[in-house]
Structure 1
Amino acid sequence: MTHALQTVDLNASLGGRRVLNGISLQIAAGRWTCVVGPNGAGKSSLLKALGGLLPHNGQVLWHGQPLEQLSRRERALQLSWLGQGEASTLDLRVWDVAMLGRLPHQGWLGTPSDQDTQMVKAALKATRAWDWRERTLNELSGGERQRVLLARAMAGNAPIMLMDEPLANLDPPHQVDWLEQVHCLLAQGTTVVSVLHEIAMALHADDILVMAEGRVIHHGASHETATHTAIEAVFDHRISIHALAGQWVVLPRTDQGCAAPTR
């Protein structure tokens, strides 16, 4: 098995507080790895460090090559990024936002090629944002903007895609659409790494990386009992994972009692 991403003794701090603690891991190429854990576990920090967006100690490797040895252009061609709560200039057209994903493929001051145009068109259609291509972002809802930003990331056609909370503001049908697009990316050989709060959706991934307090507690296949046990543990056993109709479902525990104040 080849590895798209690796870390060796990865450490990072934010505001003087350690957010990543000695993480060494290997993420398989061509698979979907989902990062889960409670708030403050270091999930987004890990994703940013993997993408070279967070200063860190230790080593990050892309396809075996140290990240610091890659030029900006090489990084942009190898990895697409969809961040949490990303801001874009709201007066940009949807088409222009999606075309930003093709910039690494264009020369300095170059104009979009026919391939660029086709890639952007395909990405907008895949995310069901094609009908808005002439509208500006400020005319769209939060969920619609998220779909446009996903189209921008997909248009880059990079072999690695990192997504931090990509389901934010998406209603259930469009969450299902997102899942379908992830499977399409995997079929093309793309390595996908996502941070999700939606545990039931995360269980559709190939592999799950469970985090707590800036450390990796468990890294294993999504169907393994050990993975489910680790997920339940980091959420203080307030949830439980069960098989239902061929899928994994996440249920709240019902034996925790009432924590509301009594009158």
Structure 2
Amino acid sequence: MSALQTLALQAKDLSVSLADRAVLHGVSLDVPAGQWTCVVGPNGAGKSTLLRALAGLLPAQGHIAWHGVALSSLDRRSRARQLSWLGQGEVAMLDLRVRDVVMLGRLPYQDWLAAPSAYDHAMVQAALEATQAWTWRDRALGELSGGERQRVLLARAMAGNASLMLMDEPLANLDPPHQVDWLEQVQCLRAQGTTVVSVLHEIGMALHADRIVVMQAGRVVHAGPADEVQTHRAIEAVFGERVRIVPLEGQWVVLPKSQGRPA
């Protein structure tokens, strides 16, 4: 298998401007297939803009490819079948039942005006059970808390069964136990061969990824394995050396700089 075939996403010289302001500056990035890649960096680094550009949701200059195929050559149906998207602060129809919201993830596989198939219903149920939201299936989305809605929107993304899943701040409004549940779901997706790319503010959670992309001021300043010292030093640098990444009980944790290394 060629190197190109093992890349799920590829960007070359990617630039994006929003409201006449340059946000991304010639970003080049390779995302390996079947791995979890996490994008981190300070506020205003361009993380969400990069994710939306990779998803084809923003006009951009440069080249973007999914699985070696230029994004510009893919029609909307092909894009929808290959990529599931979970955006930050998404606005959904709050009067829809939870099961109907998640069924939206199956639309790329349904003919126009056709009723969902038994397989579609099975995929919806599996996604809702995975996110522990099945018991809410007949409730309106607007009746749920912010964290509960986030789990439903994650189920919608999972129901699409796409080979690529991009998530922008998926842990927003989730309490710590459900953040751990999300981590387990990502690990299951990765084990099934899904390529996951997420933007996270929670550096401690990001350190569980396969690879980390570190951004600052609209540029990628480092990309590498999450467990490498060089990656940790790059994260510390973009946060102004205010945090320190140290080993603790077999894993990496993030501490304020003043705390130093645990005994």
Task: Measure, in 2, the Cα distance between the counterparts of 1:8 and 1:179.
Answer: 29
Task: Measure, in 1, the Cα distance between the counterparts of 2:243 and 2:19.
Answer: 32
Please, which of 42, 45, 59 is the counterpart of residue 46 of structure 2?
42
1:138 shift after superposition: 1.0
Alignment of 1:58-137 (within 5 A): 58-137=62-141
Task: Measure, in 1, the Cα distance between the counterparts of 2:147 and 2:18.
Answer: 29
SS in 2 for 1:103: helix
- Residue identity matched to 2:236: E
SS in 2 for 1:123: helix
Instruction: Indicate the residue corresponding to 2:171 in structure 1.
Output: 167
Task: Measure, in 2, the Cα distance between the counterparts of 1:94 and 1:158.
Answer: 20
Task: Measure, in 1, the Cα distance between the counterparts of 2:72 and 2:236.
Answer: 37
* Runs of 4+ in structure 1 over 3 Å off: none
Please, which of 25, 28, 31 is the counterpart of residue 24 of structure 1?
28
Instruction: Indicate the residue corresponding to 1:234 in structure 2.
Output: 238
1:197 shift after superposition: 0.1
SS in 1 for 2:153: helix
Q: Does 1:140 align with 2:168?
A: no
Task: Measure, in 1, the Cα distance between the counterparts of 2:168 and 2:230.
Answer: 24
Please, which of 247, 250, 257 is the counterpart of residue 251 of structure 2?
247
- Residue identity matched to 2:12: V
Instruction: Indicate the residue corresponding to 1:182 in structure 2.
Output: 186
- Residue identity matched to 2:21: R
Task: Measure, in 2, the Cα distance between the counterparts of 1:106 and 1:180.
Answer: 29
Task: Measure, in 2, the Cα distance between the counterparts of 1:17 and 1:212.
Answer: 16
Instruction: Indicate the residue corresponding to 1:193 in structure 2.
Output: 197
Unaligned runs of 5+ in 1: 256-263
SS in 1 for 2:64: strand
1:68 shift after superposition: 0.7
1:96 shift after superposition: 0.2
Instruction: Indicate the residue corresponding to 1:258 in structure 2.
Output: none
Task: Measure, in 1, the Cα distance between the counterparts of 2:46 and 2:223.
Answer: 15
Instruction: Indicate the residue corresponding to 2:215 in structure 1.
Output: 211
Equivalent residue pairs, number: 255
1:253 shift after superposition: 1.6
Unaligned runs of 5+ in 2: none
- Residue identity matched to 1:179: L
Deviations 1:148-193 (Å, cap 9, x if unpaired)?
A: 0000000000000000000000000000000000011011100000
Q: TM-score, normalised by structure 1?
A: 0.96
- Residue identity matched to 1:66: A
SS in 1 for 2:25: strand
SS in 2 for 1:216: strand
SS in 2 for 1:254: helix
- Residue identity matched to 2:99: W
Alignment root-mean-square deviation, CA: 0.7
